[in-house]
Amino acid sequence: MAHAHESNVGRIWKVFAILSVVTIIEVILGIYKPDALHRQYFLGLSLLNWIFYGLTIFKAYYIVWAFMHMEGEKSSLRWSVVLPVVFLVLYLLFILLTEGHYIYGVFKDSTIKWNF
Amino acid sequence: MEATVTTANNDEKTWGGGDIQPLGASYGKMMMWFFIVSDALTFSGFLAAYGFSRFKFIETWPLPDEVFTHFPFMHGVAAPMYYVAFMTFILIFSSVTMVLAVDAGHQMKKNKVIVYMFLTIIGGLIFVGSQAWEWKNFINGEYGAIETKGGSILQFVNKEGKQVALADFAATLPEERTQLSRSHGTWFMEEPSRSQYSVAEVQAGFKAHPDLLIRTEVIKDKQKTILSRAESEQRLGQAAYVVEGANLERNEYGNKLFADFFFFITGFHGFHVFSGVIINIVIFFNVLLGTYEKRKSYEMVEKVGLYWHFVDLVWVFVFTVFYLV
């Protein structure tokens, strides 16, 4: 590790500031839920929820890259950790959410009733 | 002195992988990363299952704003989000002190590592305590509700649409209600603890308060549907249980699966935080004893740091999925 002895304190506090600001934005949006975002839909999800997920990924990136110091690792380690997770999570979400939506449709359109 | 020093680069002891470093990371660090990969996939599985159930019951899922409204010392004030935001800050801040400890370790500054590790442990304990308080509120509930024969939850609201607690309107009827315990029943029969009010008492109380209405689980236009008085009375006729608070079987907030997922996912995350605190304490004492000073490397602090940041990372997602969306 060539960078082992230099101090990263400045960057750490900067990342903390970024994470805090993003969290505050999330909380403010979560409390006020502006109609312009809350009632607009894109691919079945409201814009507000897209923003929440986007900010979450943004925060996750900073935690992994700066705090877990992924940016200092070799790119082979980086890819062998990040790629399987990203691929499998997307795959899992695609299958489960599609199925969940399908079952919703089954309950809605047929004579079967769940909770009444 | 030299004789007691153990280094990973000793040729005879290759338990630590020796000099072979695939992916440019030491054995322990690389394995910590792959443990994190598998744990991340486990959490993803849970959160995706939550998403599955939510999509399945998309029209009747509880709204988080109405469930998590407590804040310490502010009883009766609806303060959604603030408390979890506080918990999130605690965890992010303990991540910062952890990374500062790792940074101080790189520079071999023992005292700084001690201070930062200590702060990290304190942060973790505050977080676990906060989660316990959150669970307590969730389990005790605030208003109470009725479950119908068909398994859906009916909540009570006044004319303004604000929720009303069962205790505020339920009648007291001269009926005898005894807890069925093993000593009373035949053949090992018992029942879970009885609710404070019986279904008949809630129904009588509802009749006596003409301004009350029933709110169903159905979400229309981002809000739960409130029935008219006539519909409310008809709906209440199908009441089967009085639900107070939450357990694994039913909860007053709505869909039964909601509480199950809440307990399971936040519980699994809380267990990670708890075990992280324990591991941090072990490493903290090793730092105090000068183990890593002798080893001339604070890599152990870095490895437990990876785990600690991962716990923070998971919380970022749990926070979004349970409280924001």
Question: What number is the ipTM of this complex?
Answer: 0.92
Task: Tell me if chain B has a CB within 8 Å of the CB of A43.
Answer: no
Interchain contact, B151 vs A88, CB within 8 Å = no
Q: What is the pLDDT of residues B217-265, one digit of tens each?
A: 999 888 899 999 999 999 999 999 899 999 998 899 999 999 999 999 9
Residue B7: inside a domain: no
Please indicate, yes or no, whether residues A27 and A68 belong to a single structural domain of this protein.
Answer: yes
Q: Which of A62, A71, A72, A30 lies closest to A49, judged by CA? A: A30
How close, in Å, is residue B175 to chain A by CA atoms? 29
How close, in Å, is residue B183 to chain A by CA atoms? 35
Boundary of a domain, candidates B244, B271, B292: B244
Please indicate, yes or no, whether residues B137 and B269 belong to a single structural domain of this protein.
Answer: yes
Do B283 and B117 meet the contact criterion of CB atoms below 8 Å apart? yes
pLDDT at res. B35: 96
Q: Any idea what the Cα angle at residue B106 is, between residues B101 and B108, rounded to 5°?
A: 90
Check whether B87 has a pLDDT greater than 60: yes
Q: What is the pLDDT of residues B110-121, one digit of tens each?
A: 999 999 999 999
Mean pLDDT of B199-212: 93
Interchain contact, A114 vs B151, CB within 8 Å = yes
In percent, the amount of chain A with pLDDT more than 90 equals 66
Please indicate, yes or no, whether residues B38 and B62 belong to a single structural domain of this protein.
Answer: yes
Identify the three-state secondary structure at position B139.
helix
- Residue A116: closest CA among chain B residues belongs to which residue? B150
Task: Tell me if chain B has a CB within 8 Å of the CB of A36.
Answer: no
Please indicate, yes or no, whether residues B273 and B285 belong to a single structural domain of this protein.
Answer: yes
Q: Any idea what the Cα angle at residue B61 is, between residues B261 and B86, rounded to 5°?
A: 60
In percent, the amount of chain B with pLDDT more than 70 equals 94
Q: What is the pLDDT of residues A1-42, one digit of tens each?
A: 444 557 789 999 999 999 999 999 999 999 888 888 888 888
Do B292 and B105 meet the contact criterion of CB atoms below 8 Å apart? yes
Instruction: Identify which has the larger pLDDT, A84 or B77.
Output: A84
What is the residue range of B173's domain? 145-244
Q: Which of B87, B130, B124, B47 lies closest to B308, judged by CA? A: B124
Q: In degrees rounded to 5, what are phi and psi of residue A38?
A: -70, -30
Counting the structural domains of chain A, the total is: 2
**97-116 of A, contacting B, C-beta below 8 A:** 97, 99-101, 103-104, 107, 113-116
pTM of the model: 0.89
Residues of B in contact with A113 (CB under 8 A): 150
Mean pLDDT of B127-155: 93
What is the residue range of A113's domain? 74-116
* Mean pLDDT of all residues belonging to chain A: 89
Please indicate, yes or no, whether residues A37 and A48 belong to a single structural domain of this protein.
Answer: yes
Boundary of a domain, candidates B210, B244, B278: B244
Check whether B14 has a pLDDT greater than 80: no
Mean pLDDT of B71-79: 77
